[in-house]
Amino acid sequence: MTLTPNKPTVTLPTESTRTVGKGMRVAVMFILSVIVLIGILGGRVGYLQLIEGDRNRQLAENNRIRLIAKAPERGRIFDRKGNIMATSRLAHAIYLWPIAQPKEKWPATIDRLAELMEVPANKIAEKLEQEGYNSPNLVRVAAAISPKLVTRLSEHSRELIGVKVDPEAVRYYPNGDVAAHLLGYTGELTSDDLKERREKGYRPGDVMGKAGVEDAFETMLRGEWGGQQVEVDAMGKVLRVLGQKPPIPGNAVRLTIDLDLQKAAEAALGEIKGAIIAMNPNNGEILAMVSHPTFDPNVFSGKISEATWARLQAADHPFVNRALQGYPPASTFKVVTMTAGLESKAFAPNDLLPTYAYLDVGGIQFWDHNSAGFGTIGFSEAMAYSSNTFFGQVGRRVGERTLAEWAHKYGFGAHTGVELASEEAIGLVPDPEWKLKTIKEPWFEGNTINMSIGQGDVQANLLQVGMMVSVPANGGYLIKPHLLLEDTASKEWRKSLNLAPSTLDALRQALRAVFQIGTAHSLNSEEYAMAGKSGTAEDPPRPNHAWFTCFAPFESPEIVVTAFAENAGGGGSTIAGPIAVKVVEAYMKIKTQPNAPNNPPVPTLNQ
C-alpha cells in the first residue's frame, strides 16, 4: 500500500482579512510625522530664539512698553519792565493714540469723532496718517476746545478707542490786540511746515510761531518735548508708569518794548490806518511798534469761526504790519538830499537858493506845495518850510547817483537788521539801471527831482525813516533797530557815516527849525525841544499819505518817533505830526514812573 503525504492547505487572504500590521504602520507614520513636525517647529523656535531673538524680544517689548510724548510749555514774552506780553493758559485738547487700535478700526472711530466735533473726518484722518498708525506718539487734532465738547466726548468715550482729551497749555496774550503785529501769533503746523521741520522734532498737530516775535524767536520760545514711558495691556490700557522725562519749557524772551509806551502809541494812532515806531536813537532799541487796523492774536489759540476769519481777511488788511511796509517817504527824505548836497561839496551850509512856484523840466512842472515858493532861503528855512523847489535844485545839481549813494548809506533799500526780517519790505532806491531794467525807460532829470523830495519810485519803511533821523540825533551814527533786549551785539552796533561836523550841525539846526518856524510850529513844546520833519506823499488816485518823524530832547535825544497815516488825505504836520508828538509826550511821562510790572490775571481752564 502506497502512502501519499498530506499537502498543507494554503488559504489566500481576502480583502477583508488583510488587517494584520496595518495599525502598526499608521502609528509608525504618525509618530514619524510628529517627530518631523516637532523638528520643524523646534528648528523654527531655535531660529527665532537664536537668530532673531533680540529682534523679536524688542518687538514684544514695543507692544508692551509705549512712550506718551508731552509737549513743552512755550516760553513767555516780557516787555523791558517785566510786564507779560505773551504767556500760556490751561485748556483742553483732543489727541489720537495711533497704536491704541489696529489700522482697520480707526475709520469708524474717526467718523464718530468727526461727528461729535462737527468737522470733516478727512481732516482728522490726515493728521493720523501723517504720524503713522504704528506711532506711539499722541497726535493733537484739536486745541483749546470748549467745555461743552469736553463733556460730549467724555459721554461717548466708549465709542472713541484711542481718543484722549487732556489739559494742555495754549498761547495767551493778556493784553488782547495790544502789540498784535509786533508779537505775531502761533498756529498749527501745515503739511508743508511739517515736512520742513520734522527733523527738528516737530510732530503733526504741533504749534509754532507764525508771525512777529513768535516766529522770529521760535527756537528760543519752543522748548523740548518730554514724555512718559508706560506699560500697557493688550487693549492699550496703561498699567503703570515706568519712567518719565519732564518737558523743558521754552526760554523767556525779554523785549525792548515798553508796554506802557506801546499802549500810549496805540491810543495816539487811534482808528487811523497807519503805523508808529518809537526807538532809542542811540542804540536802536525799539520802544513801541504800532500798526492799525489790528487783530486779537488770541483767536489763533483755538478754532477760528468763519465770521472771525472773514473779518481778518477784510479789505483794510488787518494782518499787514504797516510799520514794516514800503511807502514813498516824501519830504522826510530831504534829510538825505541835504546830506548829499553838503557832503558832496556842491553846497555849503550857509548857501542860499531862490525858490519858485515850480521847477520846469522838459515841459513838466514840479510844484512847491504852496504853489508860490518861499523866496531866497537857506537849508534851515527850506527844511522848515519843506520847499520842494529848493531841494529839487539841490538834487538836480548833485545828481541821481549821489542821491542814491547817500540813501544807501542811510540804510534805505536794505534790511534794517530788525528780527522781523521776513515781514520787512526793504523799500527801493531807484537809479538809471533799475529804471531801464524794470520800466524799460531811460532816466530823466524829472526822476532826479522827484527822488530828491522822496517821491516817484522811492520807497521806505518806518524803521528806515527812523534810522535816518537818528543819525543827526546821535551824532552821525547809523544804528541797528532790534527787539531783543539782551541783544548786546545789536545794541552796540553803530556805524559812523563820517559826516563833517558842519553837516551834522546844519542838519540838526534845520530839523529844529521845523518846530521853531516851520510846518510843526504849532506843535512846539515849551517843556522840551524837539526836532523833526513832516512829509506828505502823493499816492494817486488815492488820498495822500502823511508822515512825521522827530527826536527829543533836542540837546540830548532819547527817543525817535516816526508816525505814518496811510491815505489820510492831509498833510504830514497836521495829521501825523500831532500823533508823533503825543508819543514823545507820553514817553517823557512814562520814563519817570516806577519800573513795576502790572500783569493781568491769566484765565484758568477754558475761560
What domains can be seen in the chain, in order of their start residue? 66-254 (3.90.1310.10), 259-297+315-590 (3.40.710.10)
Tell me which of 146 and 518 has the higher pLDDT. Answer: 518
Say how far apart CA 479 and CA 492 lie, in whole Å. 9
Helices 400-409 & 388-398, crossing angle to 10 degrees?
100
Q: What is the mean pLDDT of the chain?
A: 88
Tell me which of 240 and 260 has the higher pLDDT. Answer: 260
Say how far apart CA 147 and CA 144 lie, in whole Å. 9
Q: How many helices (H) and strands (E) does the chain have?
A: 21, 21
Window from 42-56, 90-104, 396-410 with minimum mean pLDDT? 42-56
Say how far apart CA 373 and CA 395 lie, in whole Å. 17
**In the prediction, which pLDDT does 566 show?**
97
Neighbours of 178 (CB within 10 A): 18
- For residue range 384-415, what is the model confidence (pLDDT) as tens digits? 999 999 999 999 999 999 999 999 999 999 99
> 75 near 251, Cβ under 8 Å?
yes
Say how far apart CA 121 and CA 118 lie, in whole Å. 9
pLDDT at 530 over 80: yes
> 203 near 188, Cβ under 8 Å?
no
pLDDT at 167 over 80: yes
Window from 26-30, 115-119, 253-257, 335-339 with minimum mean pLDDT? 26-30
- Select from 435, 431, 601 the least CA-distant residue to 87: 601
Say how far apart CA 53 and CA 59 lie, in whole Å. 10
- b vs e for 493-511, b when ≥16 Cβ sit within 10 Å of the residue's Cβ? beeebebeeebbebbbbbb
* Backbone CA torsion sign across 112, 115, 118, 120: positive
**In the prediction, which pLDDT does 594 show?**
78
Determine the 3-state secondary structure of 473 from DSSP.
helix
Q: Nearest 5°: CA angle at 524, between 518 and 527?
A: 155
Tell me which of 56 and 421 has the higher pLDDT. Answer: 421
Identify the band that residue 326 occupies on the pLDDT scale cut at 50, 70 and 90.
very high
> 336 near 511, Cβ under 8 Å?
no
pTM of the model: 0.83
Window from 80-84, 239-243, 309-313 with minimum mean pLDDT? 309-313
pLDDT at 310 over 90: no
Distance of CA 356 to the CA centre of its chain: 48
Q: Measuring CA to CA, how many Å separate 176 from each of 87, 179, 493?
A: 12, 8, 33
Beta strands in 355-498 (DSSP E): 358-361, 364-367, 376-377, 477-479, 494-496
- Mean pLDDT over 33-60 rounds to 53
**In the prediction, which pLDDT does 467 show?**
98
**In the prediction, which pLDDT does 56 show?**
46
> 267 near 292, Cβ under 8 Å?
no
DSSP structural state of residue 428: B
**In the prediction, which pLDDT does 238 show?**
66
> 129 near 143, Cβ under 8 Å?
no
